[in-house]
Structure 1
């Protein structure tokens, strides 16, 4: 596979800013989402639902507006500071950076989800004091992770694909398959918008909640997010089609799943320890030094 000479070098280790930016964005955007009803009350044209919302939530305060201003700034900084790791796709233009940073957000959300579940297990089974919010929070986070990771997987070309027929076809037939698959993605996105836009808009404008004791606004946030992410996935599919159009044919094999950079580091580490060369494809260590009794 040929790539442009302008492809940036992959970062061997993550810098502090790559951890800070996703976490900072999650905290600020989480504040915005949790207080979303406050913004709807202040928005023009929301008179129909304003009375019901204001009785429960109240008006947006200075911290709400600061968070709303900071959220896009942190997102832009996160996209600008995103770095490609050795195992990620080599193309790294602006749309790729956006998808990769969204992937970083999904990764941080996984850690938060694990923390929430761990807290609930300890609280429930050690202290006999289960929470009212952990179950809904876990569900909410899992939906965000699933959707955001889907966009990242599209940018990385890592969705499940069956190459049995694709690999034996000439390049022009492969391009035809790529066009058809991209067209089907666009058709799916169009039909989803056609059938789901009105429902997503209504749930968002009335800030529909989950109806539990914790009562998070899962319907109000998840329904619109589905449409936004599907639109981004469709755009990323078009971008992938354009970027991959002139690539040389690639024959896929099990070796595609091997990270050469990680394999090199493992070999260096094992060699320094004097054990031998680790063959990660077989999951065992191959001794490169002859035994003393041979």
Structure 2
């Protein structure tokens, strides 16, 4: 396949599948994450008896379907297994079916579709957070019966939102950049800056992962550390590993960006780039200006 064909944009039409697939992925991921103690106990149970008992009690306390029998002699029931099996399948379907919106970065490669689909997941996360907050506001002020879980669930989803949107922003080249020096140097120097920037990101990722993987994956994830509140979500056990995973993906995406942009023509940036013409027209119409 030629480079031109690989970069040909497939424009999003807002089809129903573009909403259903990321929502289905988020639903399966949420179920799998909430029941991760069942997977830990089934696949890699702790050798320490005290930790094993603690993890078992945690699983029984948090299991959404406690009356459903476990399969294969473990702790995970059929819904746990189903969500675990469906996760990679839905992810592949999402990556293959994702479409580029007109306002998104158009020079993309097939591998960029992973980050683009992650961007779609973050959009569903925003909708989910909004619905949770609206539900809490309604219960708190209309019925005067606030929940114990809405605020912490919003905090939990927000953590994932900010992390995953970082990968999407890297693919879209929309992180904050200062072009004062970049625009005035020749193209070979711009490429040098791009390589240097990607190299610094990779070095940061390597040191961050090397310095904290044991604490994150052994202390936080494997012990399934909870938040310690009434709702008690596993925020430390899930968000901290996600930080390392997303940082690694951002570093990989930075390298992909350098390769993808290597032969692009230099672009000169100006203050006019920050002006959204459609938004400007809407403002003019709202104030009645010609």
Same fold (TM over 0.5): yes
Could you tell me whether the CA contact under 8 Å between 2:11 and 2:99 is conserved in 1?
yes
Deviation at 1:19, TM superposition (A): 0.4
Q: Distance in 2 between matches of 1:7 and 1:255?
A: 26
- Indicate conservation of the 8 Å contact 2:37/2:58, yes or no: no
Asked whether 1:250 is paired with 2:252, we answer no
Corresponding residue SS for 2:13: coil
Matched, 1:220 2:222: no
Give the stretch that moved more between structures: 168-177 or 222-231: 168-177
Contact 1:207 1:217 in 2 (8 A): yes
- Report the Cα offset of residue 12 of structure 1: 5.1
CA distance in 1, matches of 2:283, 2:5: 34
- Asked if 2 retains the 8 angstrom alpha-carbon contact of 1:210 and 1:217, the reply is yes
- Secondary structure, aligned partner of 2:209: helix
- What SS does the corresponding residue of 1:126 show, helix, strand or coil? helix
Deviates more, 1:234-243 or 1:125-134: 125-134
Structure 1 position 11 matched with structure 2 position 11: yes
Paired with 2:207 and 2:198, the residues of 1 have a C-alpha distance of: 14
1:109 to 125, 128, 146: 125
Post-superposition shift, 1:60?
1.2
**8 Å CA contact retained: 1:10, 1:86:** no
Equivalent residues of 2:6, 2:110 under 8 A apart: no
**Which moves more between the two structures, 112-121 or 40-49?**
40-49
Partner SS state of residue 75, structure 1: helix
- Contact conserved, 1:40 with 1:50, CA < 8 A, in 2? no
Q: Residues of 1 paired with 2:272 and 2:15: CA distance? A: 29
- Mapped partners of 1:83, 1:46: distance in 2: 43
Larger Rg belongs to: 1
Partner of 2:254: 237
Q: CA deviation at 1:97?
A: 0.5
8 Å Cα contact 2:227-2:233 kept in structure 1: yes
- Residues 11-37 of structure 1, C-alpha deviations (whole Å, 9 max, x = no match): 252111000000011111100001011
Structure 2 residue runs without a partner (length 5+): 61-74
**Structure 2 Cα separation of the partners of residues 186 and 86 of structure 1:** 30
* Alpha-carbon separation, structure 2, partners of 1:12 and 1:196: 39
Deviation at 1:45, TM superposition (A): 5.2
1:107-256 equivalences in 2 (<5 Å) = 107-201=123-217, 202-256=219-273
Q: 1:282 to 1:170 in 2, by over 3 A?
A: farther
**In the TM superposition, what is the alpha-carbon distance from 1:89 to its structure 2 partner?**
1.3
CA contact (8 A) 2:9 2:108 kept: no
Is the CA contact (8 Å cut-off) linking 2:45 and 2:52 kept in structure 1?
no
- Find the residue that maps to 1:47 and give its secondary structure: coil
CA RMSD of aligned residues (A): 1.9
TM-score, normalised via structure 2 length: 0.87
Displacement after TM superposition at 1:257 (Å): 4.1
Match of 1:291 in 2: none
Counterparts of 1:131 and 1:140, CA distance in 2: 15
TM-score in terms of structure 1 length: 0.86
Residue number in structure 2 paired with 1:24? 24
* Residue ranges of structure 1 left out of the alignment (5+ in a row): 267-278, 288-294
Provide the residue aligned with 2:65 in structure 1: none
Give the stretch that moved more between structures: 14-23 or 92-101.
92-101
Is residue 12–residue 99 contact of structure 2 (8 Å, CA) maintained in 1? no
Aligned residues: 268
**d(CA) in 2 for partners of 1:109, 1:117:** 12
SS at match of 1:180: helix
Aligned partner of 2:33 in structure 1 is 33
Name the CA distance, whole Å, in 1 between partners of 2:264 and 2:196: 18
Map of 1:284 onto structure 2: 284
